[in-house]
């Protein structure tokens, strides 16, 4: 299987990539890790006339700390996230989630920005970004704008990223120390998308939930923030009753597409189970 | 004739130069232009790992990398593991531990295991299974592949200690 013909460009700066994107317009696609786009091109689900390869732009890579936030270049690979001491120490949820994506070869090439920008509800970073209250820096011909992860994902393959913009940075508020975290992903085999998955960030105080954020993967046309479940947990201890209620509320917002991974009822039930497990695992890691 | 791009890279330490269309995948350049048929075409959908090669210190599925992206790269295929007629410790271990049956997945397995041991010279069984999970084998049931990687790790560590 060979992709259809296209023109290839390898810009060396964000500015050069933006001017190519403006000039080439709708017929062009940005190439990040390529492990979603190239398979789609082989299958003729995508046939861009121009590919703008972002792999040679140093400003799109790297992980640094900046005034209480982690700033991650959009072309940082999954393998780089997993290998980063900064990520493992400050935002371990991101390392855990990245380690569940695809397989080792794909993680060397796949990027956090590509995973987020693709708008595929099966991708893992969107729900993790929701749980981490991330913000995305979008750079276009008129400059930069910063948008919250919550509200960024509009629908299947649709995000707030405009056709002339590039996602350049991911900004993560560093969670307070003592926070618990977990990404629980049910998948049929290595390399598969989630049947359902849940990302949880949790702060406990005196045995009760002080703050919780829950993101859900692949149970709707976009990743979801489970706000009703979060609200129901506030101030509660995590016991059978509160976990059951949180799982029920997470399931109540599911609208999964039935496919070979399961029907609607099964995927919805697994979302509840992943939510419950992620909350329990996060609680085991949380202080207080 | 579609537009072509000149691409130069190091293949198993030797400089090579090719002219390719932008859409040409690395696996086809290696097999058809450069006569390196060690990397195999399995699924062509980046699942099976039979086409795995090492590129700039990363294991990659060469069915999902464009050759034009490899300008200036250092590429290692299974053909580059042996040195001076002596099998690499991993190749010897796959032989001794029966880490293959039909052999179709083996070039990808070897090249992936090579990078795994570069990054983690003393992996646990669990780390080997996780680190090799992008390579499918339909014959062995993986047990002997894991044993072979463990045996190679021990042999390489012993050689290192003796050096």
List per-block mean pLDDT (blocks of 10 residues) for chain B, which spans 163 residues: 91 98 98 98 95 98 98 98 96 98 98 98 98 98 98 96 89
For chain A, the average pLDDT equals 97
Q: Tell me, yes or no, whether B63 and B106 share the same domain.
A: no
Q: Tell me, yes or no, whether A33 and A97 share the same domain.
A: no
Q: Which of B59, B30, B62 has its CA nearest to residue B45? A: B62
Q: Tell me, yes or no, whether B64 and B96 share the same domain.
A: no
**Residue B145, CA distances (Å) to A196, A247, B46, B133, B140 in order:** 31, 40, 21, 12, 8
Give the model's pLDDT for residue B1: 56
Q: CB A7 to CB B22 under 8 A?
A: yes
Q: Which A-chain residues 47-66 have CB contacts (< 8 A) with chain B?
A: 51, 53, 55
Distance from CA of B45 to the nearest CA of A (A): 6
Give the model's pLDDT for residue A1: 87
- Chain B residues touching A190 at Cβ < 8 A: 133-134
Q: A167-203: per-residue pLDDT in tens?
A: 999 999 999 999 999 999 999 999 999 999 999 999 9
In this structure, what CATH number is given to the domain that contains residue A37?
A: 3.30.43.10
Q: Least CA distance to B65: which residue of chain A?
A: A34
SS3 B137: coil
User: Which pairs with CB-CB distance under 8 Å and at least 24 residues apart come from B139-145?
Assistant: B139/B100, B139/B101, B139/B102, B139/B105, B140/B98, B140/B99, B140/B100, B140/B101, B144/B97, B144/B98, B144/B99, B144/B100, B145/B94, B145/B99, B145/B100, B145/B109
Range of the domain at A49: 7-53
In this structure, what CATH number is given to the domain that contains residue B99?
A: 1.10.150.120
Q: A46-100: per-residue pLDDT in tens?
A: 999 999 999 999 999 999 999 999 999 999 999 999 999 999 999 999 999 999 9
- B101 interfaces chain A, CB cutoff of 8 Å: no
Q: Least CA distance to B49: which residue of chain A?
A: A105
Domain count, chain A: 3
- B131 interfaces chain A, CB cutoff of 8 Å: yes
- B43 interfaces chain A, CB cutoff of 8 Å: no
Q: Taking CA B117 as the corner, what is the angle to CA B116 and CA B119, rounded to the nearest 5 degrees?
A: 70
SS3 A53: strand
Give the model's pLDDT for residue B61: 98
In this structure, what CATH number is given to the domain that contains residue A234?
A: 3.30.390.50
Which of B29, B50, B80 corresponds to the end of one domain? B80
Give the model's pLDDT for residue A39: 96
Give the model's pLDDT for residue B2: 78
Domain count, chain B: 2
Distance from CA of A55 to the nearest CA of B (A): 9
Which of A120, A144, A173 corresponds to the end of one domain? A173
- A13 interfaces chain B, CB cutoff of 8 Å: no
- Chain A residues touching B60 at Cβ < 8 A: 105, 108-109
Q: Are A73 and A168 in contact (CB under 8 A)?
A: yes
Give the model's pLDDT for residue B163: 84
The secondary element (H helix, E strand) that includes residue A22 is helix A14-24
Q: Would you say residue A180 lies in a domain?
A: no
Q: Which two tokens stand for residue B94?
A: 């796959």
> Region A4-24: what's the mean pLDDT?
97
């Amino acid at each position: 299987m060979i992709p259809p013909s296209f023109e290839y460009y390898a810009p060396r700066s964000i500015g050069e990539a933006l001017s190519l994107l403006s000039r080439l317009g709708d017929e062009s696609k940005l190439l990040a890790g390529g492990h979603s786009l190239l398979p789609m091109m082989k299958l003729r689900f995508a046939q861009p006339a121009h590919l703008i390869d972002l792999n040679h732009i140093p400003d799109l890579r790297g992980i640094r700390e900046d005034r209480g936030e982690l700033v991650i270049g959009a072309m940082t690979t999954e393998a780089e996230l997993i290998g980063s001491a900064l990520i493992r120490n400050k935002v371990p949820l991101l390392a855990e989630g990245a380690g569940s994506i695809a397989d080792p070869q794909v993680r060397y090439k796949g990027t956090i920005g590509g995973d987020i920008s693709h708008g595929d509800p099966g991708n893992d970073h969107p729900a993790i970004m929701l749980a981490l209250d991330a913000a995305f820096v979008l750079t276009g011909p008129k400059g930069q704008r910063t948008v919250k992860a919550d509200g960024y994902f509009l629908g299947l393959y649709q995000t707030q990223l405009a056709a002339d913009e590039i996602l350049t940075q991911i900004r993560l508020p560093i969670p307070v120390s003592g926070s618990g975290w977990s990404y629980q992903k049910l998948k049929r085999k290595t390399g598969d998308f989630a049947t359902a998955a849940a990302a949880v960030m949790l702060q406990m105080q005196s045995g009760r939930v002080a703050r919780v954020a829950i993101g859900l993967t692949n149970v709707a046309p976009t990743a979801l923030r489970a706000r009703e479940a979060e609200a129901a947990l506030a101030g509660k201890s995590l016991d059978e009753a509160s976990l059951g209620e949180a799982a029920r509320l997470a399931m109540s917002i599911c609208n999964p597409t039935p496919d070979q991974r399961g029907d609607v009822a099964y995927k919805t039930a697994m979302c509840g189970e992943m939510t419950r497990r992620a909350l329990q695992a996060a609680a085991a890691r949380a202080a207080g | 004739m579609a537009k072509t791009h000149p691409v130069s890279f190091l293949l198993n330490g030797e400089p090579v130069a090719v002219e390719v269309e932008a859409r040409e995948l690395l696996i086809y350049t290696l097999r058809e232009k450069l006569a390196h048929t060690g990397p195999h075409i399995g699924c062509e959908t980046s699942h099976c790992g039979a086409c795995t090669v090492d590129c700039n210190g990363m294991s990659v599925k060469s069915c999902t990398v464009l050759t034009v992206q490899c300008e200036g790269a250092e590429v290692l295929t299974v053909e580059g593991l042996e040195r001076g007629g002596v099998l690499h410790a991993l190749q010897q271990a796959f032989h001794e531990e029966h880490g293959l049956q039909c052999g179709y997945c083996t070039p990808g397995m070897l090249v992936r295991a090579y990078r795994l041991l570069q990054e983690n010279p003393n992996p646990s069984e669990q780390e080997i299974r996780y680190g090799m999970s992008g390579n499918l084998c339909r014959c062995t049931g993986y047990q002997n592949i894991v044993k072979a990687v463990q045996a190679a790790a021990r042999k390489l560590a012993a050689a290192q200690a003796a050096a």
